[in-house]
Structure formats: structure tokens, C-alpha cells
Amino acid sequence: MGVMDITNFAHGEYLMLSLYASFWLFEFFHIDPYLSVLLVIPLMFLLGLLTEKFLIRPTIGKPMFIHIFVTLGLSVILQNLALLLWSGNFRTIQVPFATHTINFGDISISTPRLIIFMVTLTVAYLIHLFLNYTWMGKAIRATSQNRNSAQLMGININRVFMVTFALGTACLGIAGPLLMPIYYVYPTIGFQFVLVAFVAVVMGGLGSVKGAVLASMLIGIIETLSGYFLDPAMKQAIYFLLFILVLIFKPSGIFGEEGKVV
Amino acid sequence: MLEKIINNKVKIIAFLIFVIAPSLLSKDDFYAGILFQTLLWAGMSGTWNLLGGYAGQFSLGHAAFFGIGAYTSSLLASGLHLTPWLGMLAGASLSAMVGVILGAICFRLRGHFFSLATLAFGQIVYIIALSWRSVTNGSEGVLIMSSPGWSEMAFNSKMAYVYLALIYMLIVVGVSFYLDRSRLGYFLVAYRENDEAARAIGVNTFLARVIVSGISAFLMAAGGTLYAQYMYYIDPDSVLSIALSVQAPLIAIVGGLGGALGPVFGSFLILPMTQMLRAWLGTSFSGLHLIIYGVILIVVLLLIPEGIFPKLTEYLKKRTEKENSKC
Amino acid sequence: MLSVRGIHKAYGGLQVLTNVNIEAPTDRITGLIGPNGAGKTTLFNVITGFVKPDSGSFSFNGRDLTGVAPEKVCVYGIARTFQLVKTFNNLTVEKNVAIGALSREKTIAQAHSKAREILNFLGMNHKRAALARNLTLSDRKRLEVARALATNPKMLLLDEVMCGLNPTEINGMMEVIRAIHRTGVGILLIEHIMSAVMSLSDHIIVLNNGQKLTEGNAEKVSHDPAVIVAYLGEEYARAYN
């Protein structure tokens, strides 16, 4: 979103596809979700490449509403395709370690959740390294700062967009299988996640990995705390409200650098 | 000049007859239902178009206004036995107020961030309707019990609703035509084209958008009441879902943005087809009609981004010009 | 009379305008020149309300307009064009101008008749039904002038309206500017094409690094050593003398 100035409203549906992928891999081939990561990542990366090439690329440089509604249309298609192919049932997998916990003194932590936490931090750190220390990472940052100058410097911005987009979907290829043991999957699950992701990204400051991680933690805290005081559904309303407030009063994000304005 | 005016009027009238004629012919409840949906959606997407098409502000939270209208009139009717006609006015006024406030807050945001903020706003309203059980009855929804009659806005015949939806659509089209030739409309398109340039020639673009946001919210809420009276039942999913917020712009975009007749055209193009598909395919292929929605949307966006109606009129104009030059 | 007093503006650590004082009476064509980055366009943005100055003030015909919103500045009689043209591209030429005219006219019909009058004056009548996006750069710049003129300004700020035009088009634009000035509208223009500025302007102000370097008539400014240094560098100035 920060790099390409594109909001992919179908991002949640890619998570849904990734969840289904690991679900079916488990159902048919009994591949452990933690193992299926290795298969789902390249799958999602490829899907990202194709989407970018055929659906996102043609919208770049056109009026802004075109990419919004192309990705919304894609989201509608994917949701209903999933409904048509796999029905609206909630599906889940039974693995022994889903309820496993690790005890630290009095505190017991769910192992799959701990794994998700660790992996997320690792991936965030890897993305950070990638963006700062590789040629492609630097090209991505340059493009996000100024598309035209980047192009003048000999950066193939089409390839940058393609890689950026595909990396985004590949990350969902990690998220899906990791979430599968403790979550369930149904066709419209993506939407729940995507709005929260937008909230996190905007709150964290566009294009800032560190910001997004910190903002996500903040959202987690808000969700848990407000869960005690309010109707569970209301907690969502709280961070949507926060989202609008951040957009309006601190468009560079709570943790974002100054001067980078939405 | 005179010839041009007559020509346009004739075209428009012919178009409206094409819209109205089927409603007079059809007595079948199934087709009347489809016609009701089509006319209602023509009005609703036209309403969205006031803000999205004219001002270029792409709201993804219009379901909120629809729901505010539907809930206000329904709750007033079931709680205070207020006639839905007044309920409609109350809901629309409340919605207009919310629209003005939302606009005043969110119009500072550019491009897709405005869309995201309105999307979040729509979700907030949805969640409130779901959680504020003492008033809204939560996910159980509100049942509208009324004896048929004009004062209750309830009718035995579906055709009565069709006529109401037709009036609704014509009002929206009328407002759009008004925008086409009024200061407000001129100011909105000036904002859409270039905010800085518009302000430099004295256009208060912020005020113009806030006003039209109020108008759009008002009309959307009126559509909500109409829908509630037709269905006799509303719940958060039927009147506040994101699908509604997406469908309104979808129809307008496919038809053509920024004109009075584009959304009407879009609705008549899409709704009958998808409604019939839905009925024919039934539950075994649930979701297929929405896939078709999505495909049409993407194809139109990538191939004819200006919308089908403007493209068609342009084509017709060119053809008549060619014929004229032959003579 | 447009008078700007002691304007300061900085972006972060970058001082863009430092204590700028200028006066532009409505009975003159005033040229504003200076190398790239001198702060000319920022000064325009300050005068038209798009940028708030850090300190200093400006007034027009005795009315203080510091901090007034752009749409209000226009009401008080200051109109402008943009360096990068900002025509309403999907609207017809006539509608572009009519929107400008709406700042004074009550009805749409009146605005359109005012628009046609102005397009006629600028020799663009035959293009009034064309969409702005289909015009040449020269015509789009002229359209911006027409749109600004439609607001009935007493002072017109022109930001590089001749940049990118061919010699014939430049001559045409100079004619237009003179004709507008003859109707009693004051002109303040930023321009890089020296021959045009020199022959058009009654008075020239030179900005450099955000400061006023010098001012005077064309003769005086073009021979001022400081101006030559600013434009061409120290070495060249020495050789010139």
C-alpha cells in the first residue's frame, strides 16, 4: 500500500485462499500445516505475480477509483468462488498440537500462538533486512519515495511493483498455514483480517514495517482490554474509530516518520 | 442549438419510457420484485453517484446511510407507531446530519484513504446496530408489522412498491439533472477535476462536498425506508452490509459515472440479469451471480472505464453524425 | 496595489523565502524573475492563500489578506494560473471558464454568457465545445488565463504562462497579456523567457535564494551585476564587465 500507492481490497481473500490451501493439503495429503508453508508460499507468490501482471498493472497511472474497484471486484469474485467450490461451511483441521501450551510459571501460553508471534517477528525483521540491504529492497524503497526518479535511475518499476505485490501475497502464504491449526476457514474470513491490517498499516505509518508491527501490537492490546469492558463486538468499532482518527489527525501514522503524508 | 436540446430530451424520454414500460406490463410478482429491486438500486447507485461521480469522492460506507434510514423508520414504526412516511423523513434527516459530519471529518483525506475511512465508518455503524440490542434488537433484526394502506406505506400488491421505487428513482435522477446545471454541480465537478485550480477561482470545494454528502446521505436513507417497508423485516446484514456499500458504486461505475442516467442504465443492465440468475440457479450455485458481478465490474473498469452508458451515447452520436453527413 | 511585507517561509530547515517585500500596483505589468528555486512560485502560493507564511503579511488594495483561504482571496480580486497547467480536463473549454465566472455571476446561464464573452476576447471561441484535455499546451495555458479572467480579477498572477510555447505562441500570449492589462487588470508574472519579460514588464523584481535581489525597469535590472551573478555565476559576470 505504501510502496505502490495501491490499496488491495482483495488482500484478505488471498489470506482466505492461503488458509484453504493449507486446509486441503492437510485433508488430502495429510501434510502438516507447518510443513505446508513451504508449498503455500511459492503458490501465493505465483498468484501474486499473476494478479499484479493482469489486474493491477493495467490500473497503474489511471484514475484512483479504477484500482479500488478492480480489487474490490476481485475480492467479490474470490469470496464467491470459494463459496461455490467449497461451500460456506466453517472448516477446521484437527492436529494434536493445536491446544498445546507452554508454561512459564503461572502463565500458560498456547504454543501455536507463540509460534505465530515468533514467526511474525522474524518475518518482519527479514523484510526489514531485505528492504535495507538488498538491491531489490532498495529499489522498492526508492520507488515508493518517487516513482519517476526511480525510473530515471534505471529501476524497472514494473518489476518492482510485481515483486512488491507478490511478496505481500507470499507473506499471506506464511500466515495461512500458521493460522490454520488454531483458526477455521470460511469464504468471507478475509474481510475480518484485511480491515485490521489496513488499520495497522495506516496507524503504523505507510511503508514502515516497524510501525506496522508496533501498531498491530497496539491493536491487540486495545482488543484484549476493551474486551473486558465492552461487548466483544464493540472492540472492533473502537479500533475502526481509532483508524479514522489516525487517518485524519496523524496521517503519517503514530509510528511513522514525519513528513510522509497520506 | 435548439435541435441539440430536442435531440437530448427525446433520447432521455425514450430512455425513461424504456424504463417505465415494463413496469406497466408486468403483473407477475416475481418480475415485479425484480423491477422493484432494479428501480431501487437505480436510485441508490444514483445517490452514491452524487458524491462519487460528480465530486469524485468514492465512499465505501453508503450502507450506513441506507441502514440508518431503514432502522430509523422501522424502529419508530414498531416502537412509537409513527407512520413510515414521517419515519422516512426522520431517518433521512438523521442520515443527512451524519453525512454532513462524516464529510466534514473525512473530506480532508485524499483518494483511497477517503474510501478506507468510509469503509471503517460503515463497519462502525454495522457493529453498533449489531451490539446495541436494547434498541436495534441486534442480529435478530426488526420485524415490521403493519396493516396494508397508504398511511402505513404497506401494500398487498408488489406493484405499489414498484411505483414507489420508480418515484424514488425519478427523484434521484431529477437531483442529478439539477446538479448538471447548477452552481453546486459545477463546483463538485471542478473539485473532481482539480481541487487547487477550483479553489483558486473561488470555489469553496469543501463546503460543496459537505452539502452533497448531506444530500446523498438523505436520499440513501429514504431508499432504506423503502426497502424496509418492502421486505417487512430488516437486520444488520440485510441493510448495513459491506456488500451494499460496494454494490452501489459498482452499478454506477458499470453504467457510467458523473451523469444522471449512467447509474439507471447500469442498474437495468445488471440487476435483472443477476436477480434472475440467482432465482434460476437457486441455492445449488449460491454466489455465482456475485461472481458475474465481479467479472463485469473488472472487465468494464479495464476496458471501458468511462462506463457503458456514456460510451453508448457517444457511439450513437457518432453514428447519427455519419448518417447526416451522408445525406 | 498588491503589497507584500516581510514574508518568511521555511520548509523544515530549508528557508524558501526570507523577508520578501514587493509591491505590484494594478496599473503596471510587474515581472518576477529569478533562477530556479528562487522562491517565485512559493511567493505566488503565499499570495493566493495556498501556503501560510511563517511571518510577514500581504494586502491588496489596503485589505489585509494574510492567512485568507484561496477561495476567499479570489473573491477579493486576485486570480492566478499554475506553472503546471491545471485545467479541468474532462470538461469543455466553455464550462472551465464558466466555473470561474460563477464566482461573480448568479446563474449558470449568466456564467456561460460571461464565459463566451471572455473566450471571444481571447480568441478561443471556436474551441469552446472542445474538451480541455484535447487542447494543445498553448491552448490549455490560454484556457487557464481565460478561467482566471472569468473571476473578474483586479490583479492577475501568471506563473510561467509562456513556458513550453513556440515563438508564434509566445507572441500570441504576449498580445493576450497586454490586452488584459489594457482593460485595467494589474499583472504580476513569473517568467523565464527573458525577451518576453523584458518587453512586457513595466517593472521587474528579481528574487534569488528566497530574497529580493533588486528591482527596477528592464534596462536597470538587465545590467545589474548582482543579477548577472545570480543567473550566470561569478566567473561569467567578471568576464562580462
What would the pLDDT profile of B145-184 be if each residue is shown by its tens digit? 777 878 778 788 888 888 899 999 999 999 999 999 899 9
Of residues A44 and A112, the one with the higher pLDDT is: A44
Question: Measured between CB atoms, does B135 come within 8 Å of chain A?
Answer: no
Sign of CA dihedral B225, B226, B229, B230: negative
Residue A133 banded pLDDT, cuts 50, 70, 90: confident
**CB within 8 Å: A77 and B117:** no
Considering only CB atoms, C102 lies closest to which of B186, B197, B200, namely B186
Residue A230 is predicted with a pLDDT of 61
Whether residue A33 is predicted with pLDDT greater than 90 in this model: the reply is: no
pLDDT greater than 80 at residue B302: yes
CA–CA distance, B86 with B8 (Å, rounded to integer)? 37
Q: Are strands A101-104 and B233-234 parallel, antiparallel or unpaired?
A: unpaired
Q: What is the DSSP string of B19-77?
A: HHHHHHH---HHHHHHHHHHHHHHHHHHHHHIIIIIS----S-HHHHHHHHHHHHHHHH
Asked if residue B140 has pLDDT above 50, the reply is yes
Which residue of B133, B302, B304 to mutate against A (max A Cβ within 10 Å)? B302
Chain B residue numbers with beta carbons less than 8 Å from the beta carbon of C84 are none
- pLDDT at residue B8 greater than cutoff 70: no
- CATH assignment of the domain containing B47: 1.10.3470
Strand order in the sheet with C155-159: C78-80, C155-159, C186-190, C29-33, C203-208, C211-216
What pLDDT sits at residue B68? 96
Which residue of chain C comes nearest to B187, CA vs CA? C99
Q: B304 to chain A: nearest residue by CA?
A: A66
| Whether the predicted pLDDT of A141 surpasses 50 | yes
A86 close to B (CB below 8 A)? no
Check pLDDT > 70 for residue A251. Answer: no
What is the rounded distance in angstroms from the CA atom of residue C170 to the CA atom of residue A203?
50
pLDDT digits (tens, 9 = 90+) for B85-134: 999 999 999 999 999 999 998 888 877 788 888 988 998 999 889 888 88
Cβ-contact C61, C1 below 8 angstroms? yes
Q: Which residue has the higher pLDDT, A104 or B81?
A: B81
What is the per-residue pLDDT across A56-76, written as a single tens digit (0 to 9) for each? Answer: 888 887 887 888 889 888 998
Q: What angle do CA A58, A61, A63 make, to 5 degrees?
A: 95
**In terms of C-beta density within 10 A (0-12 exposed, 13-18 middle, 19 or more buried), how is residue B287 classed?**
buried
* Total domains, chain B: 1
Q: d(Cα A110, Cα B142) in Å, to the nearest integer?
A: 41
Beta-bridged to residue C29, according to DSSP, are C187
Q: Which domain holds residue B93?
A: 2-326
pLDDT band at A98 (very low <50, low <70, confident <90, very high): low
Distance, in angstroms, between C235 CA and closest chain B CA?
41
Hey, is the C-beta of C148 within 8 angstroms of any chain B C-beta?
yes
β-partners of residue B143 are: B233
Please indicate whether residue C128 or residue A27 has the higher confidence score (pLDDT): C128
* B24 band by pLDDT with thresholds 50, 70 and 90: low
pLDDT at residue A1 greater than cutoff 60: no
pLDDT higher than threshold 80 for residue C96: yes
Lowest mean pLDDT across B25-29, B219-223, C103-107, C175-179: B25-29
Residue A236 sits at the chain B interface (C-beta within 8 Å): yes
pLDDT tens-place string over residues A114-132: 777 777 778 877 887 887 8
B193, B194, B202: residue with CB nearest C71: B202
Among B183, B193, B200, beta carbon nearest to C102: B183
Least confident of A69-83, A134-148, B253-267: A134-148
User: How far A82 CA lies from chain B's nearest CA (Å)?
Assistant: 9
Higher pLDDT, B282 or C96: C96
pLDDT (tens digit per residue) in A180-220? 777 778 887 887 777 777 777 777 666 666 777 777 777 76
Confidence of residue B186 (pLDDT cuts 50, 70, 90): very high
**Exposed/middle/buried for residue B268 (C-beta within 10 Å: 0-12, 13-18, 19+):** buried
Q: What pLDDT does residue A259 have?
A: 36
How far B248 CA sits from the closest chain C CA (Å)?
23
Assign A257 a pLDDT band (cuts: 50, 70, 90): very low
Whether C234 has a pLDDT exceeding 70, the answer reads no
Pick from C48, C97, C102, C133 the residue to mutate for testing the B interface (most B CBs within 10 Å). C102
Predicted confidence at residue B283, as pLDDT, reads: 65
Band (B60; pLDDT cuts 50, 70, 90): very high
What is the per-residue pLDDT for A261? Answer: 35
Q: B11 pLDDT band (50/70/90 cuts)?
A: low
- The pTM of this model reads 0.86
Cβ within 8 Å, pair B302-A198 = no
Q: Which three cell numbers stand for residue C200?
A: 512586457
- pLDDT band for C240, please (50, 70, 90 cuts): low
Whole-complex ipTM: 0.90
Q: Which of A6, A73, A233 sits opposite B297 (nearest CB)?
A: A73
Contact C103 B204 (CB under 8 A): no
Determine the distance in angstroms separating the CA of A72 from the nearest CA of chain B, rounded to an integer: 8
Q: SS3 letters for C49-111?
A: CCCCCCEEEEEECCEECCCCCHHHHHHCCEEECCCCCCCCCCCEHHHHHHHHHCCCCCCHHHH
How close A230 comes to chain B (CA, Å)? 10
State how far the Cα of C67 lies from the Cα of A98, in Å rounded to an integer: 62
Q: What is the pLDDT of residue B12?
A: 61
Q: Chain B contacts of C111, Cβ < 8 Å?
A: 186
- Chains within contact range of chain C (3+ C-beta pairs < 8 Å): B
Q: Dihedral sign for Cα B144, B146, B150, B155, please.
A: positive
C88–B196 C-beta distance less than 8 A: no
Give the model's pLDDT for residue A260: 37
Torsion sign, CA atoms C76, C77, C81, C86 = positive
- Whether the pLDDT of residue B42 is over 90: the answer is yes
Between B181, B193, B199, which is nearest C70 by CB?
B199
Q: How far is B137 from chain A (nearest CA, A)?
A: 14
Residue A128, Cβ density class (10 Å: 0-12 exposed, 13-18 middle, ≥19 buried):
middle
A46-55, A108-117, A222-231: which has the minimum mean pLDDT? A222-231
CA angle B289, A16, A30 (to 5 degrees): 120
Residue B227: pLDDT over 90: yes
Over residues A49-55, mean pLDDT: 86
pLDDT of C52-73, one tens digit each? 999 999 899 989 999 899 999 9
Q: Rounded to a whole number, what is the distance in Å from the CA of B197 to chain C's nearest CA?
A: 6
pLDDT-above-90 percentage for chain A = 0
- pLDDT, tens only, A3-25: 566 678 888 888 888 888 888 88
Give me chain C's average pLDDT, please.
Answer: 89
Which cell numbers in the block locate residue A168?
505481500
Q: Given a cut of 70, is residue B25 above it in pLDDT?
A: no
